């Protein structure tokens, strides 16, 4: 009886261990599945390999067979597996000539006009009875709402908002606005401001934005520029600006506020003249893109495919003074395909750049990251609590977005 009991307990323990092992294996495979890319770009004749996952191979394909399958331009399905045996994920392999672009790292000025008037603040007014009033708040408007129409007037400028309120007088007027990508409407009753002698809504709006960023590359074959690596957002609301029109102009860096933990630094720039050198056509989550009107300085380099970017030494090409970009040493500490834009964590190690800026600062967004003689990515954000580190995006992602410019 005692032996039977021990065998029963042993069997139960074995089943529990097996269940835990199965759960751990399932979790590990789930993590691996989400970590692997959905598509892989390859040059004709290039073997399908993932340097960051040395144990991952095409299912049943290696060596000459793997290379031979990529000679023909186009795409095919490939099943990635552990050791060529245990299947993990089916991806699309795209066979394409390796692209080259002119890598810049130089500053550029941005001028943008938004589609609609962005609500960036509120201010109470004195109502008819002397009590505080705020027509915009009472109508349900919030910070970050984009007002596109008041009455019959399209509000594409601050002056248009003012004119629409004057036309409405003290009568309720329909307001069409966009919130979180959804168009909505409400009614607002303007309030007469005795001090300003005008009808007001109790809200501050902004119709344009200007700033400094870094040019990542020029696709000279298509006359397209790419920069920033993230969208241009309003400084007060954090909302991405809906682009109505925009242009880029020459710029030079005249100073820098060093970054510190909890306080990001900033490059100080000034526009050089008013002659535009490009037209902004996309303000997207992975950068600013448009058509160019002139030539730009920089070196023509090949673009690294996303799966080729690995942890280890790299360089950042950026401008901290004037208009001339310099190379500085950085370390790529983390690489992931799971994120759309934050594909890398980089660490500034170059003493010269640390002395000049303290690390990554505002205005350096778009600075190219080079690895093994190729354009690997671009800086996007600084880690607020550690300015020596920042995020970066794959150059391949930016080049794909640049292809959408008409």
Q: What residues act catalytically? A: 230, 350, 365
Tell me 307's DSSP state: G
Q: Which residues contact residue 390 at a Cβ distance below 8 angstroms, ignoring those fewer than 6 apart?
A: 345, 346, 348, 359, 360, 379, 380, 381, 382, 383
Number of Cβ within a 10 Å radius of residue 114: 26
Phi/psi at 228 (nearest 5 deg)?
A: 70, -45
Angle at 329 (CA atoms; ends 323, 219), nearest 5 degrees: 50
Phi, psi of 83 (to 5 degrees): 65, 15
- β-pairing, 100-103 vs 198-200, is unpaired
Two tokens, residue 176: 């069409």
Please state, as a whole number, how many other Cβ atoms lie within 10 Å of the Cβ of residue 334: 13
Q: Which two tokens stand for residue 389?
A: 């580190």
Candidates 380, 403, 394; CA nearest to 306 is 394
Strands (E), 70-127: 74-82, 86-95, 100-103, 107-122, 125-126
Q: How many whole angstroms separate alpha carbon 261 and alpha carbon 356?
A: 16
Distance CA 61, CA 47 (A): 10
Q: Which residue has the tokens 């409400």?
A: 186
Distance CA 104, CA 327 (A): 11
Q: Is 29 left (phi over 0), alpha (psi -120 to 50) or beta?
A: alpha
Rounded Cα gap, residues 230 and 263, in angstroms? 20
Distances in Å between the alpha carbon of 343 and those of 25, 56, 134, 346, 385?
26, 20, 44, 10, 19
Quote the CA–CA distance of 116 and 157 in Å, as a whole number: 7
H/E run at residue 29: helix 2-35
């Amino acid at each position: 009886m005692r032996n039977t009991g021990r065998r029963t307990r042993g069997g139960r323990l074995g089943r529990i261990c097996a269940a835990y092992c199965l759960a751990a294996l399932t979790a590990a495979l789930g993590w691996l599945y989400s970590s692997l890319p959905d598509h892989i770009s390859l040059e004709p004749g290039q073997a399908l390999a993932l340097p960051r996952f040395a144990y991952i191979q095409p299912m049943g394909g290696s060596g000459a067979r793997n290379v031979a399958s990529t000679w023909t331009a186009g795409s095919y399905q490939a099943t990635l597996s552990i050791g060529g045996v245990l299947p993990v994920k089916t991806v699309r392999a795209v066979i394409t000539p390796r692209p080259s672009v002119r890598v810049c790292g130089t500053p550029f000025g941005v001028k943008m006009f938004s589609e609609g008037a962005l609500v960036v603040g509120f201010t109470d007014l004195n109502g008819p009875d002397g009590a505080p009033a705020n027509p915009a708040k009472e109508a349900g408007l919030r910070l970050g709402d984009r007002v596109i129409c008041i009455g019959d007037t399209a509000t594409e400028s601050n002056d248009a908002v003012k004119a629409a309120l004057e036309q409405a007088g003290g009568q309720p007027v329909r307001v069409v606005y966009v919130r979180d990508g959804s168009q909505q409407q409400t009614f607002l009753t303007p309030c007469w401001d005795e001090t300003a002698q005008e009808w007001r809504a109790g809200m501050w709006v902004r119709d344009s934005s200007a700033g400094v960023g870094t040019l990542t590359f020029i696709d000279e074959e298509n006359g397209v520029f790419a920069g920033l690596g993230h969208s241009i957002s309003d400084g007060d609301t954090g909302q991405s600006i809906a682009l109505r029109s925009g242009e880029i102009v020459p710029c030079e860096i005249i100073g820098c506020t060093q970054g510190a933990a909890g306080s990001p630094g900033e490059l100080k720039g000034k526009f050089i003249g008013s002659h535009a050198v490009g037209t902004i056509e996309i303000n997207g989550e992975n950068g600013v893109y448009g058509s160019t009107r002139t030539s730009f300085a920089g070196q023509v380099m090949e673009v690294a495919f996303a799966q080729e970017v690995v942890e280890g030494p790299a360089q950042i090409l950026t401008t901290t003074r004037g208009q001339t970009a310099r190379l500085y040493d950085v370390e790529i500490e983390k690489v992931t395909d799971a994120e759309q834009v934050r594909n890398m964590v980089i660490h500034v190690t170059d003493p010269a750049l640390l002395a000049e800026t303290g690390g990554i600062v505002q205005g350096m967004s778009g600075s190219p990251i080079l690895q093994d003689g190729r354009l690997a990515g671009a800086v996007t954000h600084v880690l607020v609590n550690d300015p020596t580190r920042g995020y970066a995006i794959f150059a391949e992602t930016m080049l794909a977005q640049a292809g959408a410019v008409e």
